[in-house]
């Protein structure tokens, strides 16, 4: 077990060295390393995150739509669900998701634990039920042993499953970006163009929404304040949760951390490039049309928000037993 825990434990220790005193006073703040992680629970959650047997087809895992090799997203306008269904909305990155005020674009899940149970039972995503997912886990002897070791309970339930996945997701923090290094006092971490891009980003008002550790994720805002956004057709946004008409077309502000990796952009994935996204947001949210030069500087700054990506040994999933349902991706 010690060797199994080493990957996350070392990662957290290294991340801790990146945090220091003397932070610049800016609206965006450095990402701090994750705190109070239960390593055993996170290691179990890592297996579950990568395990496609939690889906009806036995083919889709959490990593399918939140690919940790692709910035924690899938680089598709909308994700592919059970039986190749087209999802209704863009898949947000899982990286730094523990910093969000709530989960999903409309904030319908209060935390990562609640969010983790949603896709499993969504017919358009993993297409399973919580009862059947737990049944699959209970049919795998190595999982049964590990759940008992981690939770000290005889019976496995969906709360344990989602709690473990959430604990793993809390470790997916991408600290030590070049912008973080600049915030922590390293003057040469940014080029003059990148620094000019940040100052333009800040002074134009982008930081009103994109602030804090995640440069976003901590508020809900209407998409299309100055001009209406054509992609709002057919979606409700936050109003689907609150029932308030004032929340129509409001979405959780996405994090800009690792944004160069998480294309396409917006809730509908309509912007394919950062250049396009900056242009649209400037006009629709700020009433400002950035020149080509200004746009390029802002894009250069945004790319400095790419932090150190999670590095760990991929889990070896426990083998199925004779009682474990076999994958049926074509049924």
CA dist., res. 299 & res. 87, Å (int): 28
Distance of CA 281 to CAs 195, 227, 266, 271, Å?
20, 10, 10, 10
Nearest to 99 by CA among 189, 185, 212: 212
User: Over the range 112-129, which residues count as b (16 or more CB within 10 Å of their CB) and which as e?
Assistant: bbebbbebbbeebbbbbe
Which residue out of 26, 114, 125, 236 is catalytically annotated? Answer: 125
167 is catalytic: no
- Give the side-chain half-sphere CA count within 13 A for 47: 19
Structure token pair of residue 288: 């400002």
Structure token pair of residue 132: 């059947």
Q: Which long-range contacts (CB under 8 A, 24 or more apart) does 111-114 make?
A: 111/166, 112/165, 112/166, 112/169, 112/170, 113/159, 113/162, 113/163, 113/165, 113/166, 114/162
Assess whether the previous peptide bond of 264 is cis (omega < 30° from 0). yes
Number of other residues whose CB lies within 10 A of the CB of residue 1? 10
Structure token pair of residue 144: 């049964």
Q: Name the residues annotated as catalytic.
A: 125
């Amino acid at each position: 077990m010690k060797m199994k825990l080493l990957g996350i434990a070392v990662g957290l220790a290294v991340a801790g060295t990146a945090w220091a005193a003397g932070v610049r006073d800016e609206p965006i703040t450095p990402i701090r390393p994750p705190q109070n992680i239960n390593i055993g629970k996170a290691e179990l959650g890592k297996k579950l995150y990568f395990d496609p047997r939690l889906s009806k087809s036995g083919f889709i895992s959490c990593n399918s739509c939140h690919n940790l090799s692709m910035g924690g997203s899938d680089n598709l306008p909308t994700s592919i669900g059970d039986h190749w269904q087209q999802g209704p909305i863009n898949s947000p990155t899982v990286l730094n998701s523990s910093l969000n005020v709530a989960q999903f674009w409309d904030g319908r899940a209060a935390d990562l634990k609640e969010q983790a149970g949603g896709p499993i039972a969504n017919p358009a995503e993993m297409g399973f039920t919580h009862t059947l997912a737990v049944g699959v886990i209970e049919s795998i002897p190595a999982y049964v042993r590990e759940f008992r070791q981690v939770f000290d309970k005889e019976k496995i339930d969906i709360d344990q499953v989602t709690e473990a996945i959430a604990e793993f997701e809390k470790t997916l923090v991408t600290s030590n970006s070049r912008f973080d290094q600049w915030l922590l006092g390293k003057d040469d971490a940014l080029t003059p163009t990148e620094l000019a891009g940040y100052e333009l980003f800040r002074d134009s008002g982008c930081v009103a929404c994109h602030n804090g550790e995640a440069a976003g994720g901590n508020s809900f805002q209407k998409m299309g304040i100055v001009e209406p956004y054509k992609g709002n057709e057919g979606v409700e946004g936050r109003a689907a949760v609150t029932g308030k008409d004032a929340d129509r077309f409001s979405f959780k502000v996405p994090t800009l951390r690792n944004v160069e990796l998480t294309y396409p952009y917006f809730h509908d994935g309509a912007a394919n490039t950062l250049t396009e996204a900056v242009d649209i947001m400037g006009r629709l949210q700020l009433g400002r049309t950035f020149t080509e030069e200004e746009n390029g500087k802002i894009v250069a700054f945004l790319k400095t928000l790419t932090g150190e990506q999670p590095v760990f040994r991929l889990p070896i999933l426990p083998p199925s037993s004779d009682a474990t349902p076999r994958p049926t991706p074509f049924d």
